[in-house]
Amino acid sequence: MFKEIETRSKSDLVKKQIMDLILNGVYKPEDKLPVENELAKLFNVSRATIRQAIAELKLMGIVEVRHGDGTYIKEVDVNFYMEPLLPMLLFSEKKINELYDARKYVEMGTAALAAQNRTDDQLSKLENLHSEMVKLKKEKKLKEYSVLIEEFHRYIAEISANDFLYKIYTTVNYIYKACIEQSIIVQESLLFLEPEHYDILEAIRNKDSKLAEEKMREHIDSSRGFFLSSRTTKKTGKKLPDD
């Protein structure tokens, strides 16, 4: 029932402590970290351990190493602050429905504002994204297709021209992706949602905010249906528990 606790490496512990310092506001964007030798003394570890921790923080997009200058804290994405919460999220059917409701109302807003505020250049990029989606659908390249679906939705949020709503979208989408990764998804179901993306695009093209909002609502509800129906596995027939 219980598993032996794995010993974390020293570099992991250093990385976590630096992340905690950022979360607690000790270090802020554009602050410079102490030099390698000083960090090694502060954490009582080797310089190699510090280099490994910094390399991992760099890969996570948390720090920037400026050669000949030093290591600086970056303006981290909101997802950085959500990361510690993800292990605590239990994706029961009730929670999934709540998540889809959050996604629906946020994306209804971004679609309506995108239709209202989009420029011709932005519309052209959205059309190109959709054309590539259609191409990948025909080729049944589901992995690449799913990546473009996410980019299609993200770009709609971007052209809504509302930075607050865009930040909320990125947070909700981050949790949504974590939810998908913990569940069994019938990827082929994505193909059946393609006409709905076209309807959303058409509404944005015609600058019809009300229609864009309605089509996004229909799309998210359809996605919810496919998602929930895919959660029963063929092997076990089990679902995650309801609250």
CATH number at residue 40: 1.10.10.10
CATH number at residue 143: 1.20.120.530
pLDDT band at 81 (very low <50, low <70, confident <90, very high): low
Q: Are residues 66 and 136 in the same domain?
A: no
Q: Are residues 90 and 154 in the same domain?
A: yes
Identify the three-state secondary structure at position 6: coil
For the chain, percent helix, then strand, then coil, each to nearest 5?
70, 5, 30
Q: Are residues 65 and 94 in the same domain?
A: no
Percent share of the chain, pLDDT over 70: 77
Q: Are residues 71 and 88 in the same domain?
A: no
pLDDT band at 91 (very low <50, low <70, confident <90, very high): low
Residue range 142-168, pLDDT digits in tens: 778 888 888 899 999 999 999 999 989
Residue range 183-215, pLDDT digits in tens: 544 455 566 667 899 999 999 999 999 999 999
Q: Are residues 67 and 103 in the same domain?
A: no
Residue range 99-138, pLDDT digits in tens: 899 999 999 999 999 999 999 999 999 999 999 999 988 8
pTM: 0.63
- HEC readout, 73-100: ECCCCHHHHHHHHHHHCCCCHHHHHHHH
The residue range of the domain holding 45 is 10-76
How far is Cα 194 from Cα 110, in angstroms, rounded to an integer?
Answer: 19
pLDDT band at 58 (very low <50, low <70, confident <90, very high): confident
pLDDT band at 3 (very low <50, low <70, confident <90, very high): very low
The whole-chain average pLDDT of the chain stands at 82
Residue 77 has a pLDDT of: 63
- Output the CA angle 151-156-161, nearest 5 degrees: 130
Mean pLDDT of 169-178: 81
Q: Which token pair is 92?
A: 């029961």
pLDDT band at 25 (very low <50, low <70, confident <90, very high): confident
Residue 1 lies in a domain: no
